Amino acid sequence: MAKRFTVGEANRLLPWLEMLLIEMGGKKLEIERLRAELTEVSKGAVAEGPVAPAVLENLRRLNGTVVEFNQMLEALHDRGIILRDVESGLVDFPAELDGQEAFLCWQLGEKEIGYWHELDAGYAGRKPLPEKGQGPN
């Protein structure tokens, strides 16, 4: 693992992260909508004729939205944050707890980092962070 976060470092990123994840969720929905529109508009296009203006416009908008989504994903990656699920806003922060590599786990809607899990455990293995001075931290 590259960057390792403390609970405090991860908590300080949450306001930024919350806004970013909400925006990413909107972009994902927009991508899905534009793909569905493109499929529908393409049905009416002639297979070997010139590309219909509506198809070109939809492709342009879809491409732009995908680029924006990927830039947001890159911003997470650049900070060392791992996106697990954009729809639920689930992310992991690489960390070290009691000398062991682990993930601090946070989901959109939670007020602060309150959970962690082992590297191979995932969401189902989330455990509450111990109180300060009482175990891993």
User: What confidence tens digit (pLDDT) does each residue in 76-119 have?
Assistant: 999 999 999 999 999 999 999 989 999 999 999 999 999 999 99
Sequential DSSP letters for the chain: ------HHHHHHHHHHHHHHHHHHHHHHHHHHHHHHHHHHHHHTS-SSSPPPHHHHHHHHHHHHHHHHHHHHHHHHHHHT-EEEETTTTEEEEEEEETTEEEEEEEETT-SS--EEEETTT-GGG-EEPPPTTSS--
Higher-pLDDT residue of 39 and 60 is 60
Query: What does pLDDT average to over the chain?
Result: 89
- Is pLDDT at 51 greater than 90 in this prediction? no
pTM attached to this predicted model: 0.84
User: What confidence tens digit (pLDDT) does each residue in 6-34 have?
Assistant: 999 999 999 999 999 999 999 999 999 99
Q: What is the pLDDT of residue 134?
A: 41
Q: What distance in Å separates the CA atoms of residue 82 and residue 90, rounded to the nearest whole number?
A: 9
Q: Are 108 and 22 in contact (CB under 8 A)?
A: yes
